[in-house]
Amino acid sequence: PLTIGVLALQGAYDAHVNTLISLGATAKLVRTPQDIAGLDGLIMPGGESTTMLKFLERNDFFATLQTFVQTTPTFGTCAGAILLATDVQHPPQRSLAALDITVERNAYGRQNDSAILTAETTLPGGPLEMVFIRAPRITRTGPAVEILATRDGFPTLIRQGHLLAATFHPELSHDPRVHQLFLNIIHKTA
Ligand code: GLN
């Protein structure tokens, strides 16, 4: 089976582990730069990207991860998607700059910051439930980015080659399609 790392510095990593196990993958919590050796793929979970960044700035973890995400399949959800982006706004913040998007943090304001919506997706199997928690908004996608689902016209699920990103939390819905897509991307990239 595939071995998928789940970045476990902070945030919502446990539910990702459960979904991966349910799909037959082996999940490994990643807490140090050494932990990413030998992984087939990595999930960067939701949480608080600024806090994750602080942890990553220790022990050269940021640089190790930046090299890793250039070639190894990586799936960023919410804060993880912010970390993968080339351009972060509101406020601007350092990022791994692997995924050619502009992302605006906490874009929905205090009143609408959390929501559960169902929307059309290009994934087979019908509409997709999306759990948004203090979600960012993707305001620009580069030419290599494929849009798989949207909210109010803004992309919520995107793919750029070996990279997958969601502005929502697929690990909190009882629907494994997004994680299954990530595993399929790994099989095709290998
Ligand atoms: N608001 C968080 C951030 O800016 C992201 C929220 C989430 O990951 N659910 O990092």
Among 5-9, 76-80, 107-111, the minimum mean pLDDT is found in 107-111
DSSP letter for 45, please.
-
Does the active-site annotation cover 90?
no
Residues 6+ apart with CB under 8 A from 37: none
Note whether 45 and 19 are within 8 A (CB). Answer: no
The 10s digit of each residue's pLDDT in 132-147 is: 999 999 999 999 999 9
The 10s digit of each residue's pLDDT in 173-183 is: 999 999 999 99
**Nearest-CA residue for atom 6 of ligand 1:** 134
Distance, CA of 63 to CA of 69 (rounded, Å): 10
Q: What pLDDT is stored for residue 127 in this prediction?
A: 97
Q: Residues near ligand 1 with C-beta < 6 Å?
A: 46-49, 78-79, 82, 105-106, 133-134
Among 31-35, 87-91, 110-114, 157-161, the minimum mean pLDDT is found in 110-114
Percent of the chain scoring above 70 in pLDDT: 100
Helix (H, G, I), strand (E, B) or coil at 83: helix
The 10s digit of each residue's pLDDT in 105-134 is: 999 887 778 999 999 999 999 999 999 999
The domains of the chain, with CATH numbers, are 3-189 (3.40.50.880)
pTM, whole model, 2 decimals?
A: 0.97
